[in-house]
Structure 1
Amino acid sequence: MKLQPDKADVQILTAHGPGWVAVNGERVAHSVVVGSRDERQAWECESFEDLDARHFDVLAGMRPEVVIFGSGSRIRFPRPAWIAPLVKQGVGVETMDTAAACRTYNILAGEGRHVVVALLIEPEAAEKA
């Protein structure tokens, strides 16, 4: 699905599909962290089962206002212990499927919020497409 913002002064997610997202038009086929202050890095996980507290510690270190966790093709919530450092900092944490996370990130980033989206991109979904 192609996503078209009115105007983009920040890094945006321009499209998504099974097994990939596009960041400012560049296709990314691995899990990724994207932030509204030009943060972008690979997120070293290929499945929900790979996740642990270390993955969310990286997000806490970015000190955003809000973290959106795109949990793949379906909603799966992180364990409370994983997000505890974010909660302790007063960071809002929202979990949704990856498609909804892309749309929500674009809206919040477009409003000038310091938002970080962590997108779980599942390779097995790409193989089915």
Structure 2
Amino acid sequence: MQLNLEHPDHEFVLRAADGASARVNDRQLHASFVLSPNRLVDDWGVQDVKAMTPQDLEPVLALDPEVILLGSGAAQKFPPAAVIAACLSRGVGLETMTNAAAARTFNILAGEGRRVVAAFVLAG
């Protein structure tokens, strides 16, 4: 079987993520962050998914996603209904999952050229 090295056409790849940290390319992160295929916002102030407000989504929505992957930490937690409604009212999908699952899903969707943005809550 022939193997080919694939070079993604986007700048950022999630190498790993759990509830306390994540590795984007070769950089280890210990605070909540937002990631698109070509942009990293490493100072997202959210520390608890259940306490999120629609205003917390502004840096995420500013990246013009078609879908948002919300990494809620080591365990799956859901944001308040107002946060979900803020996405739906703009026609943006919101999927909540663990950070590890969000990392895998982000890489797949980014590799397909989708307008995906992932927001990760880390409790470092």
* TM-score, length of structure 2 as denominator length: 0.85
The answer on whether the counterparts of 2:50 and 2:78 sit within 8 Å (CA) in structure 1 is no
**Contact 2:18/2:99, CA 8 A, preserved across alignment:** no
Per the alignment, residue 40 of structure 1 pairs with 40
Residue 127 of structure 1 aligns with which residue? none
| Residue in 2 that maps onto 1:7 | 7
Q: Which residue matches 2:64?
A: 63
Partner of 1:90: 91
Q: Letter of the aligned partner of 2:79 in structure 1?
A: P
Structure with the bigger percentage of helix: 1
Query: Structure 1 residues 17 and 96, CA, compared in 2 at 3 Å: closer, same or farther?
Result: closer
| Secondary structure at the counterpart of residue 118 of structure 1 | strand
Compute the TM-score of the two structures, normalised by the length of structure 1: 0.82
Where do 5+ consecutive residues of structure 2 fail to align?
none
Q: Quick one: distance in 2 between partners of 1:92 and 1:50?
A: 20
1:60, 1:85 within 8 Å by CA — same for their partners in 2? no
Superposed structure 1 runs of 4+ greater than 6 Å apart:
none
Amino acid at match of 1:23: V
Aligned residues: 118
